[in-house]
Amino acid sequence: MVGRGNSIIIVGGGASGVVLAAHLLMSSNSDLRVTLIEKRPHFGQGMAYSTLLSAHVLNVKASGMSAYADDPTHFARWVLERGFAKPDQGPFYAPRSL
């Protein structure tokens, strides 16, 4: 049975809202219900990441970003595994649209 204290609603499905939801859902509380509310058709973009222009890049290298404090190279591995960057190309600034 889910109690009243086991539900969280996150208003805003941009990058911060999605990362918060992911962290909450990975917590040890298996009874936790997370609802993410977003007015845009897709989660994760928000204002900062909704650009479609590839020239709009992040202001931090991929190697300096991660949504997980215990895995500081997560984002760099993610872009490499998906072919957005190559291992030998040097510093990579990912497009915001990723």
**For the chain, domain boundaries:** 1-50, 57-90
4, 16, 33, 75 from 79: Cα distances, Å: 39, 19, 30, 6
% of the chain with per-residue pLDDT over 90: 42
Give the tokens for residue 4.
Answer: 């009243």
What backbone phi and psi angles, to 5 degrees, belong to 11? -95, 115
Residue 1 has pLDDT above 60, yes or no: no
pLDDT in tens, 19-55: 999 999 988 777 889 999 998 888 877 777 778 788 8
| pTM score of the predicted model | 0.69
